[in-house]
Chain A
């Protein structure tokens, strides 16, 4: 469902809409387990225990269900858990839901809730929030690599351009480079267009063992050929090189190795752009660009839909909207649409292999998946 300010929908109703849509799209496959990706409900909605709540609300009372929390990487980690359960043979069909409800609270309360994903005793207590953390990283990046002040503009421009034709996007409006240059500062040097708008969202996926698909199931489908999660130090100050997202790098490498592929095989990359600096750092961590050169891919068209390595093909978190812990599920749903050839005007031509990656807490957790169109 569209990411946005869903004032009239509660956490459970957001979740139900996405689960119903995914179930219908799967042809009504009944899941044996539900994995819920969420990070803010305990603080912002006073609600934990989402597994039982949402399984029951979706008419699945009785099935195995639980919440997976890894900050912004929750969605990818939840899919990883579902993948493991399916691969082990314990279950045949899993439902993975990413859901976040943030607009019931004011921005100060939301920022405080987000700050709990940092190393709270050392970072949040000093006033660090994800925004200020991203600002520090961007400042360091510009300094270390001598990149120009507007070097991140291309990420925002590309995301907004791609969102124009995505009916599920929050901001379906292209922006110009001058608008980026004039945007108000959020936290020096981050401006408004470097920051993805955190809003309500829900997305769901039905995963199944190929062997468990009912006979005559003729929907096109997509195969997970690589699935990995890696972590590094939670506190940014505990990382030897804060500009190297080591967990992102390791999870990408592991997923590629499992899929027996190399970077050159990847047709599109749904990366984590909650802040534009993370788009640059993710491209570098995965190896699509050399250290300090990630931002240049946003300058020369390499990341556009027709480029060498398209990213944010439906607008990314920047323009589709940032659904918090549900980000990874949106990315996988969007990559799936690309591989199935259902991306309409956002279609990447001849896309057959996609990589998705979501990050939690400035890259302390990273989850990477490789998807391939099933033949």
Chain B
């Protein structure tokens, strides 16, 4: 059964390049607690990344895409698809992806489209790109997961809703820095978190977002993929899961048999928050910054509503040299300018002026 469901294209694919982007502003979780709970209660993370006044999913996607292009060492016009997954597209109607494609020089002979599936819109774009390249329709496709996530002031999500993401150029396995050995997607109708049309902030089903949503989907997708690929947790040097807070990915990793050191490199949520569609993907970039040729990596995303994409990856000999062409993800994590709640409120448009 497992063999029939695993996704594998006719032509093997991989990542020709990858790039991250995280804005420099940081809002400490204790600052949110200071405003809303008198400083009391547990904090889900240390701090979250906040986009500046002149940043949005378009500008941030361009930053990450340029980093990916530098590592792929590629003529941008050879990219035949630019796909951006996000739940913070600046426009409700008008693509993010056309602006990104234009800015990096991929237009006009290209596909361009925006993807939406809560926090797994970016990995959904990777799945589509695998099919696009794996079928021979194109040699290169760009898949981006990027967000400037929304959290209602005072809501539990305000502590974690961060900004950032990553771009991956999918291409033939031969010249990849990391080969995609197999993937698997798992989806059900599970309403744990949503934002209705024309609403500013999302709603969520409290503890329902845990076991029946996040844990069940990630666990099932990961177990299925590992079984189909005849692997267990110990076969992977690294693993990265969607990171809505610090507790969830740590717990799901443990339940799947992973040790803390296998997830440490990709666990960025304590210092940048939940970057939604960018979350698992930006964690993967941080792993690729340190992985050695031959290392196997498991990535499993999670999108509310709900579904998970699982990927079995293998770092190639080309990785150590090519990754030098763009900034390390940790350099973005360390580049921090702390802001207070008032500045955050101004940057994120929480003060309604008219």
Residues on A lying within 8 angstroms of B by beta carbon are 5, 7-8, 103, 106-107, 184-185
Instruction: Check B42–A106 contact: CB distance below 8 A.
Output: no
Looking across the interface, which residue of chain A has its beta carbon closest to that of B216? A7
Instruction: Check B208–A7 contact: CB distance below 8 A.
Output: yes
Q: B205 touches which one: A8, A106, A184, A185 (CB < 8 A)?
A: A106
Q: Given A5-B211, A8-B212, does the pair A184, B41 have CB atoms closer than 8 Å?
A: yes
Looking across the interface, which residue of chain A has its beta carbon closest to that of B210? A5
Q: Given A106-B205, A107-B206, does the pair A185, B211 have CB atoms closer than 8 Å?
A: no
Interface size for B (C-beta < 8 A) is 9
Instruction: Check B40–A184 contact: CB distance below 8 A.
Output: yes
Residues of A within 8 A of B206 (CB): 106-107
Considering the chains assembled together, what is the distance between the CA atoms of A185 and B205 in angstroms? Answer: 22
Residues on B lying within 8 angstroms of A by beta carbon are 40-42, 205-208, 211-212
Considering the chains assembled together, what is the distance between the CA atoms of A185 and B41 in angstroms? Answer: 8
Name 16 interchain pairs, CB-CB below 8 A, sorted by A.
A5-B207, A5-B208, A5-B211, A7-B208, A7-B211, A7-B212, A8-B212, A103-B207, A103-B208, A106-B205, A106-B206, A107-B206, A184-B40, A184-B41, A184-B42, A185-B40
Considering the chains assembled together, what is the distance between the CA atoms of A5 and B41 in angstroms? Answer: 23
Considering the chains assembled together, what is the distance between the CA atoms of A5 and B207 in angstroms? Answer: 9
Residues of A within 8 A of B42 (CB): 184
Residues of A within 8 A of B205 (CB): 106
Residues of A within 8 A of B211 (CB): 5, 7
Total A-B pairs, Cβ < 8 A:
16
Interface of A: prevailing SS:
loop
Considering the chains assembled together, what is the distance between the CA atoms of A7 and B212 in angstroms? Answer: 7
Considering the chains assembled together, what is the distance between the CA atoms of A106 and B208 in angstroms? Answer: 9
Considering the chains assembled together, what is the distance between the CA atoms of A5 and B216 in angstroms? Answer: 14
Considering the chains assembled together, what is the distance between the CA atoms of A190 and B206 in angstroms? Answer: 22
- Closest chain-B Cβ to A302's Cβ sits at a distance in Å of 34
Looking across the interface, which residue of chain A has its beta carbon closest to that of B204? A106
Considering the chains assembled together, what is the distance between the CA atoms of A360 and B117 in angstroms? Answer: 45
Considering the chains assembled together, what is the distance between the CA atoms of A103 and B206 in angstroms? Answer: 10
- Closest chain-A Cβ to B119's Cβ sits at a distance in Å of 20
Considering the chains assembled together, what is the distance between the CA atoms of A184 and B208 in angstroms? Answer: 21
Residues of B within 8 A of A5 (CB): 207-208, 211
Looking across the interface, which residue of chain A has its beta carbon closest to that of B208? A7
Looking across the interface, which residue of chain A has its beta carbon closest to that of B190? A7
Looking across the interface, which residue of chain A has its beta carbon closest to that of B206? A106
Considering the chains assembled together, what is the distance between the CA atoms of A229 and B40 in angstroms? Answer: 42
- Closest chain-A Cβ to B33's Cβ sits at a distance in Å of 12
- Closest chain-B Cβ to A114's Cβ sits at a distance in Å of 16
Residues of A within 8 A of B207 (CB): 5, 103
- Closest chain-B Cβ to A190's Cβ sits at a distance in Å of 14
- Closest chain-A Cβ to B327's Cβ sits at a distance in Å of 40
- Closest chain-B Cβ to A5's Cβ sits at a distance in Å of 6
Looking across the interface, which residue of chain B has its beta carbon closest to that of A5? B207
Considering the chains assembled together, what is the distance between the CA atoms of A184 and B43 in angstroms? Answer: 12
Most buried by B among A5, A7, A8, A107: A7
Residues of A within 8 A of B212 (CB): 7-8
Considering the chains assembled together, what is the distance between the CA atoms of A184 and B205 in angstroms? Answer: 22
Looking across the interface, which residue of chain B has its beta carbon closest to that of A107? B206
Considering the chains assembled together, what is the distance between the CA atoms of A107 and B208 in angstroms? Answer: 11
Residues of A within 8 A of B208 (CB): 5, 7, 103
Residues of B within 8 A of A8 (CB): 212
Looking across the interface, which residue of chain B has its beta carbon closest to that of A110? B206
Considering the chains assembled together, what is the distance between the CA atoms of A184 and B42 in angstroms? Answer: 8
Considering the chains assembled together, what is the distance between the CA atoms of A8 and B212 in angstroms? Answer: 9
Most buried by A among B41, B205, B211: B205
Looking across the interface, which residue of chain B has its beta carbon closest to that of A184? B41
Residues of A within 8 A of B40 (CB): 184-185
Considering the chains assembled together, what is the distance between the CA atoms of A210 and B176 in angstroms? Answer: 80
- Beyond A7-B208, A8-B212, A184-B42, 13 extra complex contacts between A and B, CB < 8 Å: A5-B207, A5-B208, A5-B211, A7-B211, A7-B212, A103-B207, A103-B208, A106-B205, A106-B206, A107-B206, A184-B40, A184-B41, A185-B40
